[in-house]
Structure 1
Amino acid sequence: MTIEKTNIKDLVLITPTVFEDSRGYFFEAYNQAQFHEHGMSYQFIQDNQSFSKRGVIRGLHLQINPFAQAKLVRVLEGEILDVAVDLRKNSSTYGQHFSVILSAANKKQLMVPHGFAHGFSVLSETASVLYKVDQLYHKESERGIRYDDPTLAIDWQVSPDEVIVSQKDLVLPSFEDIDWEF
């Protein structure tokens, strides 16, 4: 397992070591000891899975303290553009985002720590996304930012005529209007 730092502190990209032979492949998707060796001591308590079709954008979602969630995101089928936005006001990268293609083929994972908004767009015909979280869903702590926020200017790599967004995500505030912090 390779754990790479990104240009945003505490946000890391994980690439498993894959063992392939004539039967198929095997890899460790999560190894708590290796995470701890790299300073990541999350206690994951729930796995969530979603299935979406091409053009779907889910996000940008988060939960505020004390129910903030860290997420370990991977793709079981298909391909997504995974996006994390740093919302830690004391961070030198506050308001910056990182994006990476996660797919069933590349088997990469993104570790999104507390203090980030998270979302993804589906680039393949369909995609199944699995993510571990270290905190249960808490409706009153749920927040978000519009996917098409002009300040963040995220390129979701989906043409405007293909974009599919939930009604709930369409009414999220802009980055400039958020009033919560970590």
Structure 2
Amino acid sequence: MSKFKKVETGIRDLYVIEPTVFGDNRGFFMETYSKKDFNDIGLTMDFVQDNHSKSKKGVLRGLHFQIKHTQGKLVRVTKGSVYDVAIDLRKDSETFGKWYGVELTEENKKMFYIPEGFAHGFLTLEDETEFQYKCTDYYAPEFDSGVLWNDKNINIEWNLEKYGLNEETILLSEKDKKQQTLLQFIESGVVIG
């Protein structure tokens, strides 16, 4: 029996991963990645880079992707919580332009696997939130790109009111304030890969 449960999202290759957690009065133990166990549930990617970020409540990072050296990502929260979102940007996909969001928290210990060809971003729901992720390719700044977090054509439901936030309180980098819309991405003719 695998130590990981792969949960379908309705978008091909995009999965929520639920690890087996062993807990008692001392705390808990869990494996966060095992190549063998991931292979057993059909996830055969290879990871080459790990990243770690820390953010305060209301920070929105994204929605990022690389047009070449595309990165699959296995993301999780080790402290605090986020609302994590992925958008399918694979041109030939039946779910192109569709998004899926999931809460990742220190308590629920869920992970999210975002394959190559997706834009990815997250909204931090608590101060001092720490976010960690594994990537299938190296960061290549010359191929860095993104999609605007509040693009009306994608219509992501960020649940701002639920989390005690609003558009004025969202904290974005200067880069993320100026990202392209999905329509601009389509019109550019750029193909990810």
Band of TM-score, shorter chain: over 0.9
Please state if 1:133 is matched with 2:143.
no
One-letter amino acid matched to 1:59? G
Tell me the residue number matched to 1:24.
27
Q: Distance in 2 between matches of 1:138 and 1:52?
A: 22
Please state if 1:181 is matched with 2:191.
yes
One-letter amino acid matched to 2:90? R
- Secondary structure of the 2:38 match is helix
Tell me the residue number matched to 1:107.
109
Please state if 1:160 is matched with 2:167.
yes
Query: C-alpha root-mean-square deviation of aligned residues, in Å?
Result: 1.0
- Secondary structure of the 2:155 match is coil
Q: Distance in 2 between matches of 1:126 and 1:147?
A: 22
Q: Say which is worse superposed, 35-44 or 11-20, in terms of deviation.
A: 35-44
Please state if 1:147 is matched with 2:149.
yes
Q: Distance in 1 between matches of 2:114 and 2:152?
A: 22
1:76 aligned residue (75, 78, 103): 78
Please, which runs of 5 or more residues in structure 2 have no aligned partner? 161-165
Runs of 4+ in 1 over 2 A off after TM superposition: none
TM-score (norm 1): 0.96
1:12 aligned residue (15, 36, 56): 15
Give the drift of 1:3: 1.1
Q: Distance in 2 between matches of 1:71 and 1:85?
A: 13
Question: Where in structure 2 are the equivalents of 1:56-71 lying within 5 Å?
Answer: 56-65=59-68, 67-71=69-73
Give the drift of 1:124: 1.7
Q: Distance in 2 between matches of 1:122 and 1:100?
A: 12
Q: Distance in 2 between matches of 1:153 and 1:6?
A: 17
Q: Distance in 2 between matches of 1:148 and 1:126?
A: 24
Tell me the residue number matched to 2:121.
119
Q: Distance in 1 between matches of 2:12 and 2:40?
A: 17
- Secondary structure of the 2:32 match is coil
One-letter amino acid matched to 2:28? Y
- Secondary structure of the 1:95 match is coil
Please state if 1:36 is matched with 2:39.
yes
Please, which runs of 5 or more residues in structure 1 have no aligned partner? none
